[in-house]
């Protein structure tokens, strides 16, 4: 176990004490519920899965019971959603800031460089996006030692699980309606979650505002469920398609500038003193946002690089990538930093350095492939935000549901799809 604090058993429910028969009943009901309500994903072990609709489905990995989370911190995260929506919008309008902040990264990261090229072309054309649609998810962990809610990152492209997260909340409510009394838990303490409806509503409103009903002829809204990873562009034709979409008058979710505003490098630049002030006017909003920033540094910050070499377990190194599995942890942080120092090239500009956050560890029942495992786990809370704007008029700016992901505490990263994390919901305490 890599956690510093050891094991905290702070959950409202003491899982150790739950009777095995009851667990087996809940497992059975939860699996039936998942199949009936579409809490399912493609089953990789079935060859035709993903090719033939309705073939090869398995329940999504989920936690059997919701994880305890302080209501005050949940509210804090929800309140941040509209502020981050606004911040992404403001940053996206500052083409010079995006280009300059990513200029060193551009030299060493071919993928980010291609995105920046598309962005440059739009700047040259002086292209304006009058209708701007953002479907974001800002992720947080609750740092155990300081009891503070700290942001992991904000996703501005392909923010995932808005559909399944709602179902997991419903599953947990349903289990607590049936078994809550025996567990000493109240189903009403699982907050409502309508992420998928709110995202769909934002997309539909963007279509309405585009106001051209010639369907089949004119494309009004482009939503990217891919396009955030280099592997999504196996040839030049994908890059040409991305450019074509960007040049078009369609509403892009995200536009190239929203995409770039969501990079880790921009997150790190925004955390520098006096940068938020360039984009946000309201002092309280600025203070709220700053409070959730963890330590973030560029690799040309030699003082913090030295500290990270000394105590690598307290840091995470991140390249400009999305989708999980790209970060560097522990001894690898030290090795990579030492190598970059020795090489003396610009390659360091591909990464940012971040304070490692240590959430409290609790016992969880993790369900995967119909099997229930009990393990020590940590959780990450994502808050969805939907934003729609037409020129000066903000049509929609709201918090739009949540996603809880819980992963085995010994795993550094572990996405849901990668097999370490499960979908979860929360139980307000
Ligand atoms: P991605 O865009 O690939 O999802 P993230 O920044 O979210 O990149 O990192 C992936 C995962 O790594 C997170 O879901 C979290 O589990 C872990 N992680 C990222 N940053 C930190 C951090 N500062 N402290 C602890 N864990 C982190
Ligand atoms: Mg991300
Ligand atoms: Mg992430």
For the chain, percent of residues with pLDDT exceeding 70: 97
- Of 3, 153, 418, 422, the residue with max ligand 1 atoms within 8 A of its CB, to mutate for a pocket test, comes to 153
Determine the pLDDT at residue 172.
98
- Of 320, 323, 413, 416, the residue with max ligand 1 atoms within 8 A of its CB, to mutate for a pocket test, comes to 413
Rounded mean pLDDT, 167-183: 97
Q: Using CA atoms in the order 59, 63, 66, 69, what is the torsion angle rounded to 10 degrees?
A: -130
Instruction: Work out whether the CA dihedral 277, 318, 252, 162 comes out positive or negative.
Output: negative
* Atom 16 in ligand 1: residue holding the nearest Cα: 413
Determine the pLDDT at residue 12.
63
Distance 423 CA to ligand 3 centre (A): 14
Please give the Cα distance from 221 to 199 (Å, whole number): 13
Determine the pLDDT at residue 143.
98
Rounded mean pLDDT, 219-242: 98
- Of 327, 328, 405, 411, the residue with max ligand 1 atoms within 8 A of its CB, to mutate for a pocket test, comes to 327
Atom number, ligand 1, closest to the C-alpha of residue 139: 7
Q: Could you list which residues have their CB under 5 Å from ion ligand 2?
A: 153, 155, 322
Which long-range contacts link 13-20 to residues 24+ away (Cβ below 8 Å)? Answer: 13/65, 13/68, 13/183, 13/184, 13/185, 13/427, 15/65, 15/363, 15/364, 15/365, 15/374, 16/363, 18/183
Domain ranges of the chain: 15-294+357-428
Atom number, ligand 1, closest to the C-alpha of residue 325: 3
Distance 413 CA to ligand 1 centre (A): 6
* Atom 15 in ligand 1: residue holding the nearest Cα: 413
Atom number, ligand 1, closest to the C-alpha of residue 355: 23
Atom number, ligand 1, closest to the C-alpha of residue 323: 3
* Atom 23 in ligand 1: residue holding the nearest Cα: 356
Q: Is the pLDDT of residue 417 over 80?
A: no
Distance 138 CA to ligand 2 centre (A): 9
Atom number, ligand 1, closest to the C-alpha of residue 421: 16
Give the distance between the most distant pair of CA atoms in the chain. 66
Rounded mean pLDDT, 157-168: 97
Q: Is the pLDDT of residue 157 over 80?
A: yes
* Span 352-390, pLDDT tens digits: 999 999 999 999 999 999 999 999 999 999 999 999 999
* Span 48-91, pLDDT tens digits: 999 999 999 999 999 999 999 999 999 999 999 999 999 999 99
Distance 325 CA to ligand 3 centre (A): 9
Please give the Cα distance from 239 to 247 (Å, whole number): 12
* Atom 2 in ligand 1: residue holding the nearest Cα: 322
- Of 139, 152, 229, 408, the residue with max ligand 1 atoms within 8 A of its CB, to mutate for a pocket test, comes to 152
- What residues are in contact with ligand 1 under a 6 Å CB criterion? 139, 152-153, 294, 316, 318, 321-324, 326-327, 354-357, 380, 413
Task: Supply the mean pLDDT for the chain.
Answer: 95
Atom number, ligand 1, closest to the C-alpha of residue 378: 16
- Just list the catalytic residues: 137, 153, 155, 160, 264, 318, 322-323, 405
* Span 112-148, pLDDT tens digits: 999 999 999 999 999 999 999 999 999 999 999 999 9
* Atom 4 in ligand 1: residue holding the nearest Cα: 324
* Atom 19 in ligand 1: residue holding the nearest Cα: 152
């Amino acid at each position: 176990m890599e956690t510093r604090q050891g094991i905290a058993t702070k959950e409202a429910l003491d899982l150790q004490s739950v009777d095995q028969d009851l667990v087996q009943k809940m497992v059975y009901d939860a699996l039936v519920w998942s199949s009936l309500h579409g809490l399912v994903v493609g089953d990789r072990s079935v060859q035709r899965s993903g090719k033939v609709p309705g073939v090869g489905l398995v329940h999504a990995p989920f936690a059997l019971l919701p994880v305890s989370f302080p209501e005050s911190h949940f509210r804090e995260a929800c309140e941040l959603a509209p502020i981050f929506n606004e911040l992404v919008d403001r940053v996206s309008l500052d083409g010079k800031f995006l280009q300059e902040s990513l200029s060193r990264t551009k030299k060493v990261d071919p993928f980010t460089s291609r995105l920046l090229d598309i962005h440059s072309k739009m700047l040259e054309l002086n292209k304006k996006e009058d209708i701007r649609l953002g479907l974001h998810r800002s992720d947080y962990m609750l740092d155990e030692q300081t009891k503070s809610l700290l942001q992991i990152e904000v996703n501005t492209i392909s923010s995932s699980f808005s559909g399944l997260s709602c179902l997991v909340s419903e599953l947990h409510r349903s289990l607590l309606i049936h078994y809550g009394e025996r567990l000493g838990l109240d189903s009403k303490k699982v907050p409502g979650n309508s992420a998928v409806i709110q995202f769909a509503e934002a997309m539909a409103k963007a279509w309405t505002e585009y106001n051209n009903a010639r369907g089949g002829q004119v494309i009004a809204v482009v939503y990217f469920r891919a396009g955030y990873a280099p592997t999504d562009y196996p040839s030049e034709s994908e890059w040409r398609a991305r450019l074509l979409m960007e040049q078009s008058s369609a509403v892009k979710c995200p536009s190239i500038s929203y995409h770039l505003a969501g990079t880790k490098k921009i997150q790190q630049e925004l955390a520098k003193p006096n940068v938020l002030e360039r984009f946000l006017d309201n002092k309280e909003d600025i203070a709220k946002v700053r409070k959730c920033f963890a330590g973030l540094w560029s690799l040309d910050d030699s003082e913090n690089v030295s500290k990270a070499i000394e105590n690598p377990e307290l840091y995470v190194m991140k390249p400009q990538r999305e989708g999980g599995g790209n970060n560097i942890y522990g001894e690898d942080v030290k090795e990579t930093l030492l190598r970059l120092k020795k090489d003396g090239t610009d390659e360091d500009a591909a990464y940012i350095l971040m304070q490692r956050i240590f959430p409290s560890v609790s016992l969880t029942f993790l369900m995967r492939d119909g099997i229930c495992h009990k393990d020590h786990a940590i959780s990450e809370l994502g808050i969805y935000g939907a934003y729609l704007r037409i020129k000066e008029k903000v049509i929609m700016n709201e918090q739009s549901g949540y996603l809880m992901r819980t992963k085995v505490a010994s795993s550094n990263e572990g996405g849901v799809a990668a097999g370490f994390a499960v979908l979860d919901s929360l139980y307000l305490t």
